[in-house]
Amino acid sequence: MMIKLTSVVLIMMVLSGCLHRVSSTKIDPSSPVVSQSAQYFTSDPQPTSKPLTTVPPISYLNENQYLDPMQRHLITTINQNAKAINDRKKDAFYKSFADFAVKDPTQVNGIYEFMVNHENEYIIKIDSPRFTPNSNWTDEFSVTVSRTLFLNDSNTIKPDGDSTYYFKQINQEWQLFAID
Is pLDDT larger for residue 130 or for residue 7?
Answer: 130
Q: Provide the CA 127 distance to its chain's centre, in angstroms.
A: 16
Within this chain, do residues 67 and 120 fall inside the same structural domain, yes or no?
Answer: yes
Give CA separation, 13 vs 10, 53, 54, 77, 92, in Å.
Answer: 5, 20, 19, 34, 26
Q: Say yes or no: 34 and 87 in one domain.
A: no
Residue range 153-172, pLDDT digits in tens: 999 999 999 999 999 999 89
Domains of the chain: total: 2
CATH of the domain at 118: 3.10.450.100
Asked whether residue 107 falls in the same domain as residue 155, the answer is: yes
**Do 80 and 35 share a domain, yes or no?**
no
Q: Within a domain: residue 49?
A: no
Is pTM beyond 0.75 here? no
Going by the DSSP 8-state scheme, the letter that residue 117 receives in this structure is I
pLDDT at position 89, please? 96
Same domain, residue pair 106 and 141: yes
Reported as a single tens digit per residue, the pLDDT across 52-76 is 578 999 999 999 999 999 999 999 9
Q: Distance from first CA to last CA of the chain, Å, rounded? A: 53
Residue 98 has a CB neighbour count (10 Å cut-off) of 20
Same domain for 110 and 165? yes
DSSP string, 130-167: EEEE-SS-TTEEEEEEEEEEEETTTTEEEEEEEEEEEE
**pLDDT confidence of residue 116:** 95
Note whether 92 and 29 are same-domain residues. Answer: no
pLDDT of res. 50: 55
Q: pLDDT digits over 99-158, tens only? A: 887 777 777 888 999 999 999 999 999 999 999 998 788 899 999 999 999 999 999 999
Contact present, 145 and 78 (Cβ < 8 Å): yes
Query: What beta strand segments (E) does the chain contain?
Result: 20-23, 39-42, 121-133, 140-151, 156-170, 173-179
With respect to residue 109, please indicate whether it lies within any of the assigned structural domains: yes
List the domain range (segments joined by +) for residue 85: 63-179
Q: Is residue 110 part of a domain?
A: yes
Asked if 109 and 28 sit in the same domain, the reply is no
Residues 89 and 146 in one domain: yes
Domain assignment present for 55: no
The residues, ordered by sequence, that sit 6+ positions from 85 with a Cβ below 8 Å of its Cβ are 93, 112, 115, 116, 121, 122, 123
Give domain status of residue 48, yes or no: no
The answer on 156 and 85 residing in a single domain is: yes
Q: Could you give the CA distance from residue 117 to residue 47 in angstroms, rounded to a whole number?
A: 13
93 and 14 together in one domain: no
Q: Are residues 69 and 37 in the same domain?
A: no
